[in-house]
Amino acid sequence: MYIAVLQVFNLNIGVMAQQTGIIPLVGTLNGINFYYLNGKPIARKAGGGFTRKRIKTKASMERVRENASEFGHCSAVNKAFRSALNPFYKGYTFTHFHSRLMGLFTRIKALDTTHKRGERLVANGIGQAHGLQLLEQFSYTPACDVRQVLPFEFRVSDPDLALSIADFDIAQVGFADGATHMALTYGVLDFDFNHLNYALHLAPPLVLDRSYAGATLTLEPATLPSGLGTALYVLGVRFYQEVDGALYVLNAKGSVGIAVLKCL
C-alpha cells in the first residue's frame, strides 16, 4: 500500500518540498518526514533539525540560545504585567493581547545597552526615557482606544495623584454600541520590572449614564504607591447596558479599553 501511495508523489526533496499527490501522508517513511505546515502537506528528509542537545551545545546555535533566554524573560514580564492590569478587564478576553504585549516588551528590552545579547532586561530598557515613552504610547486596546473614547485633557495632581478631566461633555464620549452606561476605573500601578512585584492603587470606579451633566470628573486613589518600582497611571473604560434597572457588562469588541496615561 505504501509503495502505491508513494508512486503518486513527486518528491524532489533537498531540504523541504510540498507534497503533491492524491493522498497526503503524515509521519515518517523511508527517511522522509511527512507533515502539515500552515495547512499544506510538506515532505522533508528526516533529521538535521533542531534538537535540545544541539541548541544547548552547538556554537552555531548561540543566537538561538540568546533569543530563547530573552524571550523567556519577556514572557515572564508579560505574564506579571497582564496580571497587574487584570482589574481593568476582568472577565474580558482581548484578541492577541499576549502577543502584542510581547512585541512591546521585546522592543523595550532591546533598549538595554548595559547587557550583552541574551542577557538584556526589560527593566533596563524601562530605565531609558524612550522605554517609558513606549509604555505610554502603546495602544493597549486598539478596538477601544481610551483617548479617542474620551477626547479630553487628563491631569494628574500632586501629591494625591488624583486624575481630573476638565471640560467633560458626555455627548463627546464614544459609547460602545448598545451601551447605556460607562464605568471609569483609574489606578496607579506601582510595578517593579526587576523582580516583577507590583501593587495597584485604585480609585473607586465612576459610573456615568448618557444623561450625565457634569463638566468635571475626579478620580482619586484610595492609597498611594510606596516607590516599589515604576509608577504607571492607568485609566480603564468599560461599558454597560441597563436592562430592567440592572447593569450588565458588555463584552463585545470595543467595549473595554485600557490606557497608560503617564509613567514615572
Checking if the pLDDT of 10 tops 80, the result is no
User: Which residue ranges make up each domain of the chain?
Assistant: 2-45, 59-137, 144-263
Lowest mean pLDDT among 52-61, 122-131, 241-250: 52-61
Q: Which residues contact 222 (CB under 8 A, 6 or more apart)?
A: 201, 202, 203, 204
Average pLDDT, the chain: 87
Q: Which residue has the higher pLDDT, 115 or 46?
A: 115
Q: Which residue has the higher pLDDT, 261 or 14?
A: 261
Checking if the pLDDT of 31 tops 80, the result is no
pLDDT band for 259, please (50, 70, 90 cuts): very high
The whole-model pTM stands at 0.78
Q: DSSP letters of 26-92? A: -EEETTEEEEEETTEEEEEESS-S--HHHHHH-GGGHHHHHHHHHHHHHHHHHHHHHHHHGGGTTT-
As a whole number of angstroms, the distance between CA 155 and CA 165 comes to 7
- Axis-axis angle for helices 129-137, 97-109 (nearest 10): 160
Lowest mean pLDDT among 65-74, 134-143, 221-230: 65-74
Q: Cell numbers of 162, please?
A: 488624583
Element spanning 248, H or E: strand 246-249
Q: Which residues contact 17 (CB under 8 A, 6 or more apart)?
A: 11, 42, 43, 44
Class assignment of domain 144-263? mainly beta
Q: Which residues contact 250 (CB under 8 A, 6 or more apart)?
A: 176, 178, 179, 238, 239, 240, 241
136 CA to centre of own chain: 14
Q: Cell numbers of 135, please?
A: 509604555
* Residue 152 CB-density burial (10 A; 0-12 exposed, 13-18 middle, 19+ buried): middle
Q: Cell numbers of 116, please?
A: 550583552
Checking if the pLDDT of 8 tops 80, the result is no
Lowest mean pLDDT among 28-42, 68-82, 201-215: 28-42
